[in-house]
């Protein structure tokens, strides 16, 4: 598995290094100007933030209801990546908003629900770290609530009044803006897959170490 | 009298439910819609470019630092666990 992750990380790093040149070649947006270029990193981060929550929720469901022990490692890995990509989304967004909207933050449904999902991931990881025995099951329950938040975050900009652009922005992008966006999205997705695989490998190795310690104690 | 009170209570519950469910629908219907698409432009006023560059650089810089930090953190933890695993397996032999 790790033989695959190294080229994935190398390729995505190379793509992310090339990204500023490709983004620079994209045209300026008429009302926001230069600051709109934050979008090329903000959008992939935000989508992968939501994807993390779905992966974490599905594996938590498998762990809780189908008793698949290995699913817990994937859920934990996805939660950690959710925190990372959530932080990227919640930092790049306000940097863009400061120029585009004149404020760092507004308590609108999209921003507030995204912050809530980020806090759910933070709570999940704190519970896993400090919760003691049984915290894996409690955290899995919490991850299911996190996953339920995803459709709400996605449609919030179309249903409620908000300053945030609607979901129709991306499909209607002109080609010269779409190419850098999908280039960055591919780079981020490859990085995400590689990091998720590495993080899950770490958790599987930890399980092996624990099993060996237990075997030593019994012997 | 009791019957009237019960009817009044049921009516109050219905009014409350109708208000709770109806208000968001009305609120959503009256709202102005945000812009639906980005429009590219070839020329940007010079004043626009200068302050925005700091925000764009900060955003890209943060992404790089956070991702590199996380990759370093995973690599470090993975190395620790694999060393521990190798030690345990050697001890078992």
B40 part of a folded domain: no
pLDDT score, position A113: 94
Domain assignment of residue B15, yes or no: yes
- The pLDDT value recorded for residue A4 is 76
Q: Is residue B84 part of a domain?
A: yes
Q: E-assigned strands of chain A?
A: 28-29
Residues B92 and B54 in one domain: yes
Kindly identify which residue of chain A lies nearest to residue B35, measuring between CA atoms: A165
**DSSP state at residue A34:** G
Pick the residue with more confidence: A83 or B89?
A83
Query: Tens digit of pLDDT per residue, chain A (219 long)?
Result: 667 788 888 898 899 889 888 888 888 887 788 888 899 999 999 999 999 999 999 999 999 999 998 899 999 999 999 999 999 999 999 998 888 888 889 998 999 999 999 999 999 999 999 988 889 999 999 999 999 999 999 999 888 878 888 888 888 888 989 999 999 999 999 999 999 999 999 999 999 998 888 888 776
Residue B37 lies in a domain: no
CB count in 10 Å sphere of residue A154: 15
Instruction: For residues B93 and B54, state if they share a domain.
Output: yes
CB atoms within 10 A of CB B54: 13
- Give residue B4's domain range: 1-31
Both B20 and B54 in a single domain? no
Quick: pLDDT tens for B55-80.
Answer: 888 999 999 999 999 999 999 999 99
Domain count within chain B: 2
Q: Comparing C-alpha atoms, which of A167, A197, A207 is closest to residue A50?
A: A167
Q: Are the C-beta atoms of A154 and A114 separated by less than 8 Å?
A: no
pTM over 0.90: no
Answer yes or no: do B55 and B89 share one domain: yes
CA distance A110 to A25: 30
Angle (CA) B88 B89 B91, round 5°: 65
B41 in any annotated domain: no
- How far apart CA A117 and CA A167 sit, in angstroms, is 19
d(Cα A124, Cα A135) in Å, to the nearest integer?
9
**Which of the two residues, A194 and B49, has the higher pLDDT score?**
A194
pLDDT of residue A199: 95
Query: Does A30 sit within 8 Å of B41, measured CB to CB?
Result: yes
Contact: B88, A213; criterion CB under 8 Å: yes
Please tell me the distance from the alpha carbon of residue B86 to that of residue B91, in angstroms, as a whole number: 9
B44 within a domain of the structure (yes/no): no
Select from A5, A8, A30 the residue whose CB has the most chain B CBs within 10 Å, as the one to mutate to test that interface. A30
Residues of A within 8 A of B60 (CB-CB) are 20, 38, 41
Hey, how many other C-beta atoms are within 10 angstroms of the C-beta on A39? 28
Position B36 confidence tier, pLDDT thresholds 50, 70, 90: low
Residue B42 in domain: no
Q: Are residues B91 and B54 in the same domain?
A: yes
């Amino acid at each position: 598995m790790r033989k695959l992750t190294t080229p994935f990380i190398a390729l995505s790093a190379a793509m992310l290094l090339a990204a500023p040149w490709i983004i620079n070649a994209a045209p300026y947006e008429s009302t926001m100007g230069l600051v709109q270029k934050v979008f090329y990193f903000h959008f992939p981060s935000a989508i992968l933030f939501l994807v993390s929550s779905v992966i974490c929720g599905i594996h938590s469901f498998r762990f809780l209801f189908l008793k698949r022990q290995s699913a817990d490692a994937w859920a934990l890995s996805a939660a950690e990546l959710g925190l990372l990509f959530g932080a990227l989304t919640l930092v790049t967004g306000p940097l863009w908003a400061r120029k585009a909207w004149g404020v760092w933050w507004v308590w609108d449904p999209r921003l507030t629900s995204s912050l809530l999902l980020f806090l759910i991931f933070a709570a999940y990881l704190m519970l896993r770290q400090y919760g003691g025995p049984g915290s894996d099951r409690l955290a899995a329950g919490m991850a299911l609530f996190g996953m339920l938040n995803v459709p709400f975050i996605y449609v919030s900009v179309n249903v409620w009044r908000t300053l945030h652009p609607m979901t129709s922005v991306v499909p209607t992008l002109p080609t010269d803006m779409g190419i850098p966006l999908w280039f960055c999205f591919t780079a981020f997705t490859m990085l995400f897959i590689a990091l998720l695989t590495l993080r899950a490998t770490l958790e599987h190795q930890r399980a092996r170490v624990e099993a060996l310690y237990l075997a030593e104690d019994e012997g | 009298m009791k019957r009237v009170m019960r009817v009044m209570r049921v009516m109050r519950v219905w009014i409350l439910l109708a208000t709770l469910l109806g208000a968001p629908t009305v609120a959503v219907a009256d709202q102005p819609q945000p812009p639906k698409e980005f429009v590219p432009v070839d020329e940007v006023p010079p004043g626009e470019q200068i302050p925005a560059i700091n925000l764009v650089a900060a955003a890209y810089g943060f992404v790089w630092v956070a991702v590199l930090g996380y990759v370093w953190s995973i690599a470090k933890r993975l190395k620790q666990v694999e060393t521990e695993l190798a030690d345990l397996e050697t001890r078992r032999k």
